[in-house]
Amino acid sequence: MGKTDTVTKNYMRRPDVFADVFNQFLYHGRQMILPDRLVELDTTEIAVPYGTGQALVPEQKYRDVAKLLTAMTDGKAAYCILAVENESKINYAMPVKDGLYDFMQLAKQVTETANAHKKDKNSTVRPSTDEFLSGFWKSDRLLPVVTLVVYFGAEEWDGPLSLKEMYADVGKEILKYAADYQINLIAPKRLSERKLNEFHTNFREIMKFIKYSTDSQQLKEKISSDKRFQNVERQAVDVINSVTGSKVKYSKRKEAVNVCIAIQEIREEGRMEGRMEGRMEGRQQGKIEGFILAYKEMGRSQEEAKTYITMKCEKNEEEADALIKKYWK
């Protein structure tokens, strides 16, 4: 697992962030899923390999984050499984990957239900022959599984959103009955300002920063006009730095970071570095001019001066010719 994957996974594991993302996607920002109602689950699943060249043995698959939600419905406790898959790059097989995880979780529930029936020796209810053979009774129910794909990239997501988009063109009559699976995607470029404002944690600032990160001028304008960027958690800044390659600095003695000031400092440092590089380049040009004039005064040839410049000053022949033409007066 790479550094970016680790940083994003640790951030999305936080109950407040996890709940915030689902509240935005499912309820447009209304606080329906409470962090204290979430219980983290083991993300290890057992899968049968698919694709060519695979060994015919089960293998372990690991979701990024999965949590069990306990919600109250009509005064009764209701349960469902919520999961997040983090992607820093576009995954063009995402519907297959996501669908595999979801159906593995559902298959796990079927297996656990069947095992529970076998162990229950005191039950007075007797299953029918069909129920006994399937292990899953007519009255049994599965917990719904809802997975969100959170894309941390600055580019437009141009990958498939459903299985049907991945199928070869074999005719609409066949595709009509082919299995389908739709992914639930959160991607920065797809988030309008209204949708961004439906997030209540610094996940909003992360998505907004990524969305405008490819245009430095627009990024500066969006950050400087947004007061929420004046108080961003360090962990959120770590995510921003990791996924965008930015270098937003902060003091480890402070819990929050003023990203507006940090970005301004980065721009100032960039201008300083540019001036320093310009001065260094100017000094090198001055030295080369001095070498050329010295060779001329000593009666040496232009070819000798060219050889010196290419060997000692790390210039190619075209650059050396241009410099000699400029300074050999």
Give the pLDDT of residue 260.
82
What would the mean pLDDT of 9-15 be, rounded to a whole number?
Answer: 93
Residue 225 CB contacts under 8 Å (≥ 6 apart), including other chains? none
**Tens digits of per-residue pLDDT, 146-167?**
999 999 999 999 999 999 999 9
Instruction: Kindly state the average pLDDT of the residues 62-71.
Output: 77
DSSP state for residue 144 in the 8-state scheme: P
Determine contact, residues 49/34, Cβ cutoff 8 Å: no
- DSSP labels for 27-72? HTT---S-GGGEEE---EEEE---STT--SS-EEEE-SEEEEEEEE
How large a percentage of the chain has pLDDT more than 70?
A: 83
Q: What is the pLDDT of residues 250-297, one digit of tens each?
A: 878 888 888 888 776 655 544 444 444 444 454 556 677 777 777 777
Model confidence band, residue 30 (pLDDT cutoffs 50, 70, 90)? very high
Pairing mode, if any, of strands 145-151 and 76-87? parallel
Task: Tell me if 308 sits within 8 A of 291, measured CB to CB.
Answer: yes
Q: How many helices (H) and strands (E) does the chain have?
A: 12, 9
Length of the chain: 329
Give the pLDDT band (50/70/90) at residue 44: low
CB atoms within 10 A of CB 196: 18
Average pLDDT over residues 41-51: 54
Indicate the range of 132-141, 149-158, 174-183, 250-259 predicted with least confidence: 250-259
Q: How confident is the model at residue 216 (pLDDT cuts 50, 70, 90)?
A: confident
pLDDT of 75: 60
pLDDT confidence of residue 26: 94
State the average pLDDT over residues 90-105: 93
d(CA 323, CA 41): 68
pLDDT at res. 61: 60
Among 74-83, 106-115, 157-166, the least confident range:
74-83
Start-end of H helices in 154-258:
172-175, 193-196, 203-212, 216-224, 234-244
Say which residues have a Cβ less than 8 Å from residue 324's Cβ, sequence separation at least 6: 292, 302, 305, 306, 309
